[in-house]
Structure 1
Amino acid sequence: MSADLAGPVRKAQVKVSSLSPRITRTTVADAEGRFVLEDLPAADYTLSASKLGYLEMALGARRPGAGVPGAPLKLAAGQKIEKVSLKLPRAGVISGVVTDEWGDPAIGVPVAAMRFAYENGYRTARPGGNAVSDDLGGYRIGGLPPGDYLVAATPRDMVAAAAASAESIRVRQEIIAAGDAEARARINEARRDGVSGAEIPAPAGYVPAFFGGTPSPSAAARISLGLSDHAGGIAVQLISLKTGTVSGVVTGPDGLPALASVQLVDPLMPIAGLAVWFRHPGADGRFSFAGLVPGTYVLRAQGTKAIGAAGGGDFTAAMNVTVTSGNTVDGSLALQRGRTVTGSIDLNTLPPPADARRLSVQLYPIMGPSDWEAAVPRATPDERGAFTISPVAPGLYRARVNGLPQGWALASAVFRDVDAADMNLEIKAGEDPPTGVLTFASRTAVLSGAVSNKDGEPVTDRNVLLFPANRDFWVAQSRRIHLVQPGRDGRYEIRGLPPGDYRIAAIDSPEPGQHFDREFLTTLVAGSAEVRLAEGDSKTHDIRVG
């Protein structure tokens, strides 16, 4: 039934699933909201329901959302479970009106709601829903879960959109002209006549307009939407202003134009399409980003495989650029080869006979929300344990080792004053990092226990979060931060833990990636318990909730 209207939710999709045996069955609720799932084998099931306009809900879950754990439904052979009730909350809504710069209704303008979410410990805005303004300028965006949102209106004739189209045409013309002299002559003639389609538009015009009266996403007003809330009256007025341009040429280490992918980012709020843009220069290496709101941006280039030796992103470049109204900034970038990381395996910390050549030393990239997908640089040590990883693009990395003997783990990866097993190793352009030394241990710790309520009954709808007491270790993808869900008996187990002081708590299921967020962890410290683990410890810690 509906959680807010107390009536049946007709034609909701109802699903049961089990991991052992692996089973998924679905059905559709009838006109009274009733459902039947028959001929199910004995198993522990999760039961959930969903429907357009509502939020997915699992039986026994403490909040709605796909993937949020609920209470397991234990079904014995031949058993019939009746009168199971699932209450679906309605999805949230954001509505309002879009007006032009004179206050008149703006018709046919795309409007986007972006919800804040977590990615590798960063909180950033991601697409949440879309609409188009009607003949009165009104819009309505539904299907929204609770959270904080930004709302932006993006006219189809924005300067940046027209500029991107012109730049794409220019690059295609360069590619055609490079291989056809007759076509090159026709294109040059059209350019002289101003009808090639590749003319960059005038720098004044529409830019993205955010709720709060700003073209900048980092300065936009945030809308807090509760469960099943309707946030109305979210008015957005279009903004027209004189924009700026970043243009330049990408060159390789030899000084010649290079094929590359070029990215421009607003580092304060990197929202795809609104504050993150890409260009793919042609053979002349030229690129242009026009229609930019004045401000400071990060410009990056990554060599493509077409460069030959510079392929696969081995060659990169980056710079900060400040854009001002009506001006063009030179953003020419010179690609440089990635840095070289060297180190050694301490063979004395591995069981004899130690053969380092069976290992793979990796630098795992820790990416921000606007970073490109990156390969994992790796190397195989020689018989003495020495390794060289090259090229490594500038960025943040964590050391990992594959191929270790059963039961062994990386203990430390020290590069001068940074232990890259736990902390981010920063690779800087033009600077090789110090040599590293990697050590290993065979006795990692194990922590287990049970989560129960005040009556001693197992609790399964909470998550157990273990995190280090030392805030220096509060980094994305930390091997010391673990979020686990108890089994149907309320028990949990966490293996492979380095020694140290930890905090542990039973919490409601957080947003994906939220458990790496420093502010979130700070809120949990007071209500968490201390756990100290020595090397090789196997400790039990039970948690009582409620």
Structure 2
Amino acid sequence: MRSPLVLAKLQLCRLSLCALFVIWGSQLRAQEKGGGPYRISGTVVNAATGAPLNRADISIATVKPPAITQSVQTGPDGHFEFDGLPAAKYSLTGARRGFIPAAYDEHEQYSTAIVTGEGLRSENLVLRLAPDAVISGIVTEDSGDPVENARVSLFRQTHDTGSEKARMADNTMTDDSGAYEFSTVAPGDYFITVSGRPWYAENGEGMPRRPNTVDAKDIPHSPLDLVYATSFYAEATNPDDATPIPLKGGERVQINFELHPLPALHLLVHSPVSDDPNLGTPMPSLSKEVFGTSDYVDTNTRAIAPGLTEISVAPGEYQIHLRGGVNSPSERLSAVNVTSDESIDAGTGQVLANISGRVAMASGEALPRSTVVTLTSSDGKNRNGSVAGEEGTFEMANMPPGKYRPDAWGNGKHLFVSKLAVNGAQVEGSRITIGSGPVMIAATVYPDPNLEVTGFAKKAGKPAPGAMIVLVPEDPANNRDLFRRDQSDSDGSFALLDVIPGKYTVVAIEDGWALNWAEADVIAHYLALGKYVTVTETNSKTTALKEPVEVQPK
């Protein structure tokens, strides 16, 4: 099941309101006791040492609404117990000061619910809470002087999109001593990057530039025209060479950085200038791809003349963004590998598409308030959205070329597209292929029928809790956005939610959370033992598999 953990609520438990929550929970437990013959019990332990945890706050809640919650606090032996329970499915969560709140057997946003009933195991459970970890360090120059106001970014390695990816987890700035710290960090593998500018750097303010400068090599260099290259642990300037930092619960890890001032290279960026002198000229900006994400680069930038900008950078690969103006409303994107002073015509960069359109309910009813229209790329890497106006109109700027699936969401519920008309892009089924030109979309939508696929995971004929369940679409390489996942509960049951009509295979994988499960060549290994299922809009809300899914080893 999807993890029920509500972090804001559990954070309260880690503060002074915890006692109030426990008292309320104990009262509610007393009120609910006697409702049935079943019990949920176990021990909460330190995931790093296995030692029982005293004064941990443990909660259960019925999964089926309306949720009924009960809470207790553990004693020195870490034991918890909820008795007098009716047959039902319950989430089980725990929290304690100094530990990461967690649900039972939690993986990413999924966990295993506890099912009570005749012959089902719901006692002697072990709920593991990982102690907070801390990463800290000091950023200095090679001279030993601290670097103040450097940006330190923490990336966590995940597989939640089906491919190994480092996702931004946190960022902070160094203080006047060059120190930084990330606290309350969960166990995992991390990367750290540092970027900034020397406080004393200047790009030759006293050296005049000629407005008719056309070649970057003609720009004079100041002795203090210095930059730092973006640095990755350990001593790397390219994300491909970065070293992951394995972090265990409770660890205190110190990672120091030494930045090296480098003579800046100069980009002389030429931009289109409007014929109207009253209209401003857009200033170019730079980004750098860091672990698959475009990250803004803080640079020394100097306007020499209208349409002529000087940017001081470290060597490396960048993208130049030129915001649209009157003559060219779309953003242009230019890729450049800077190895020396270079002149760039940003006006010839790739044009990103501007999307506009209108969405309406197929029933003729008014759209839900604050309906959001989204475009999701087939590879799942790009997604953009826009809030529709009162008449259902929407706009999205600067979409990269590619194949996208349009969707809409209203009041937190999925709205499926029933009819689609597009001008300026190719249409193939429910997807549109966007180029560089403007695109207009007209779509009618209907409420999500809340289609789901349910079943049971078994291993050697017995219920298999904690397995990763994957709904694999037909032609997975071109339908990454149609994958769905769940984690099997204590009786082996699972429910794959928000399923889009189509043909699928359901597979169950033991401890498969570190797999690149959305990669076609990886998931193909498991399809032969999966269960085939077709989901249509004419089905009932729930498509139940007639046979259990056999759990396969990773």
- Structure 1 regions of 5+ residues with no counterpart? 168-199, 346-353, 382-387
Task: Tell me which residue corresponds to 1:193.
Answer: none
State the shift of 1:204 in Å.
1.0
Task: Report whether the alignment pairs 1:450 with 2:450.
Answer: no
Structure 1: distance between partners of 2:458 and 2:352 = 57
State the shift of 1:90 in Å.
3.6
Task: Tell me which residue corresponds to 1:17.
Answer: 61
Task: Report whether the alignment pairs 1:209 with 2:223.
Answer: no
Name which of 483, 492, 497 aligns with 2:495: 492
Matched-pair contact (CA < 8 Å) for 2:56–2:78: yes
Name which of 182, 188, 191 aligns with 1:150: 191
Matched-pair contact (CA < 8 Å) for 2:198–2:261: no
Matched-pair contact (CA < 8 Å) for 2:332–2:346: no
Structure 2: distance between partners of 1:98 and 1:279 = 21
Aligned amino acid, residue 492 of structure 1: A
How many residues are paired up? 467
Task: Tell me which residue corresponds to 1:526.
Answer: 525
Task: Report whether the alignment pairs 1:266 with 2:308.
Answer: no
Matched-pair contact (CA < 8 Å) for 1:160–1:291: no
Task: Tell me which residue corresponds to 1:503.
Answer: 505
Aligned amino acid, residue 526 of structure 1: H
Structure 2: distance between partners of 1:415 and 1:121 = 33
Structure 2: distance between partners of 1:268 and 1:4 = 31
Deviations 1:341-399 (A, max 9, x none): 89999xxxxxxxx9999999997333799989642689989xxxxxx997864434323
Aligned amino acid, residue 68 of structure 1: Y
Q: Specify whether residues 129 and 253 from structure 1 end up closer, same or farther in structure 2 by C-alpha distance, changes over 3 A only.
A: closer
Aligned amino acid, residue 236 of structure 2: T
Matched-pair contact (CA < 8 Å) for 1:98–1:133: no
Task: Tell me which residue corresponds to 2:8.
Answer: none
Structure 2: distance between partners of 1:376 and 1:234 = 42
Deviations 1:153-174 (A, max 9, x none): 44x6x2499789x99xxxxxxx
Q: Specify whether residues 292 and 27 from structure 1 end up closer, same or farther in structure 2 by C-alpha distance, changes over 3 A only.
A: farther
Name which of 471, 486, 496 aligns with 1:466: 471
Structure 2: distance between partners of 1:204 and 1:149 = 29
Name which of 168, 178, 181 aligns with 1:126: 168
Task: Tell me which residue corresponds to 2:336.
Answer: 322
Structure 2: distance between partners of 1:228 and 1:323 = 40
Name which of 408, 411, 425 aligns with 2:433: 425
Matched-pair contact (CA < 8 Å) for 2:466–2:510: yes
Q: Specify whether residues 10 and 449 from structure 1 end up closer, same or farther in structure 2 by C-alpha distance, changes over 3 A only.
A: closer
Matched-pair contact (CA < 8 Å) for 1:43–1:74: yes
Structure 2: distance between partners of 1:100 and 1:278 = 18
State the shift of 1:436 in Å.
9.0
Structure 1: distance between partners of 2:416 and 2:192 = 50
Task: Report whether the alignment pairs 1:483 with 2:493.
Answer: no
Of Structure 1 and Structure 2, the greater strand share is in 2
Matched-pair contact (CA < 8 Å) for 1:243–1:324: no
Name which of 231, 240, 246 aligns with 1:219: 240
Deviations 1:522-543 (A, max 9, x none): 3222123252638657673531
Matched-pair contact (CA < 8 Å) for 2:387–2:394: no
RMSD after superposition? 6.1
Identical aligned residues as a percent: 16
Task: Tell me which residue corresponds to 1:189.
Answer: none
Task: Report whether the alignment pairs 1:89 with 2:97.
Answer: no
SS in 2 for 1:219: helix
How do 1:112-191 and structure 2 match up within 5 A? 112-117=153-158, 123-128=165-170, 143-154=184-195, 158-159=197-198
Q: Specify whether residues 215 and 454 from structure 1 end up closer, same or farther in structure 2 by C-alpha distance, changes over 3 A only.
A: closer
Task: Tell me which residue corresponds to 2:406.
Answer: 399
Matched-pair contact (CA < 8 Å) for 1:451–1:458: yes
SS in 2 for 1:525: helix
TM-score, normalised by the number of residues in structure 1: 0.61
Matched-pair contact (CA < 8 Å) for 1:46–1:70: yes
- Structure 2 regions of 5+ residues with no counterpart? 1-44, 206-221
Matched-pair contact (CA < 8 Å) for 1:414–1:436: yes
How do 1:2-401 and structure 2 match up within 5 A? 2-19=46-63, 20-24=65-69, 29=74, 33=78, 44-51=89-96, 53-59=98-104, 61=105, 63=106, 67-72=109-114, 74=116, 85-91=126-132, 100-101=141-142, 112-117=153-158, 123-128=165-170, 143-154=184-195, 158-159=197-198, 202-216=224-238, 218-223=239-244, 225=246, 227-228=248-249, 236-245=257-266, 257-258=279-280, 263-267=285-289, 269=291, 275-276=296-297, 290-302=311-323, 315-322=329-336, 324=338, 327=341, 329=343, 364-366=374-376, 374-375=385-386, 393-395=398-400, 396=402, 397-400=404-407
Deviations 1:90-111 (A, max 9, x none): 4556577766426x58587775
Q: Specify whether residues 38 and 300 from structure 1 end up closer, same or farther in structure 2 by C-alpha distance, changes over 3 A only.
A: farther
State the shift of 1:506 in Å.
2.0
SS in 2 for 1:267: strand
Matched-pair contact (CA < 8 Å) for 1:97–1:105: no
State the shift of 1:2 in Å.
1.6
Q: Specify whether residues 420 and 258 from structure 1 end up closer, same or farther in structure 2 by C-alpha distance, changes over 3 A only.
A: farther
